[in-house]
Copies of this chain bind each other. A is one copy, B any other.
Amino acid sequence: MTAGDVAGNSLSKERLRLWLRMLRVTRQVESELRERLRTEHDSTLPRFDVMAALYAAEEGLKMNELSKRLRVSNGNVTGIIDRLVEDGAVERIAIEGDRRATRVCLTVAGRDTFRGMAVEHERWINALFEGVSEEDAHHIGELLHRLPASPNDAH
C-alpha cells in the first residue's frame, strides 16, 4: 500500500512493509482454506473455528465463553451457532440454576464432522507451508511473540 509514501522514517516504513506482507500472506491462506472448506465440506472458516473451540471443550461452552475465546462479538456467535444448530452439528443445552445462559455443545455428528475437517485442515496448512522448515516455523513463531498478539495464546 502507499501509506508508506506519505510519511515516516525508515524503521516505521520497514514495519509497515512487514505488516502489509503479513496481511497479504494470511489473507491468501485464509482464502485457500475458505475455498476448500466450501467446496469439500460445504462449510466455512467461522464455522470451523467455532467447532474447533467446542471440540476442545469436552463439556461445551457458554455463548459467553465462546465469544471471548474466539475474540468475536457475542452477536456474531449467536448467528453462527444458529446455523450450526440447523445443520445438526451443535445443540444448545439449558444450564440449571441460570436461565440467562446456555451451554453450547457439539453433537456426536458434529464431532465426527469436525474430526474429518480438522484432519484435512492440518494437511492443507502443511502443504501451504511446505517451504517452511520446522526450525523456521519455530523461529518465526518466536519473532511473532514480539507483536501485539493477544493474551493467552494457548488454551
Q: Tell me the residues in window 102-128 of chain A with beta carbons closer than 8 Å to chain B beta carbons.
A: 115, 118-119, 121-123, 125-126, 128
Asked whether A1 lies within 8 Å of B150 as measured between CB atoms, the reply is: no
Answer whether residue A138 sits at the interface, using C-beta atoms and an 8 A cutoff. Answer: yes
State which of B4, B15, B21, B32 has its C-beta within 8 Å of the C-beta of A153. B21
Chain A facing B: main interface SS:
helix
> When chains A and B are docked, how far (Å) is the Cα of A113 from the Cα of B150?
31
Q: When the two chains form their complex, are residues A129 and B15 in contact, meaning their CB atoms are under 8 A apart?
A: yes
Ordered by A's residue number, 21 sampled pairs between the chains whose C-beta atoms are within 8 Å are: A2-B55, A3-B118, A3-B122, A4-B122, A6-B122, A7-B122, A10-B134, A12-B125, A13-B122, A14-B138, A14-B141, A15-B126, A15-B129, A21-B141, A22-B144, A24-B149, A27-B71, A28-B150, A31-B71, A128-B148, A132-B147
Chain B hits for A52, CB < 8 A: 1-3
Give the interface centre of A2, A15, A139, A143 by most chain B CB atoms within 10 Å: A15
Contacts of A28 in B (CB 8 A): 71, 148-150
Structural contact, B17 and A137, CB atoms closer than 8 A: yes
Please state if B148 and A25 are interface contacts (CB–CB under 8 Å). yes
The number of chain A residues with a CB under 8 A from chain B is: 64
A55 to chain B, nearest CB (A): 5
Contacts of A23 in B (CB 8 A): 26, 30
Q: What is the chain B residue whose CB lies nearest that of A1?
A: B52
Contact B150 A6 (CB under 8 A): no
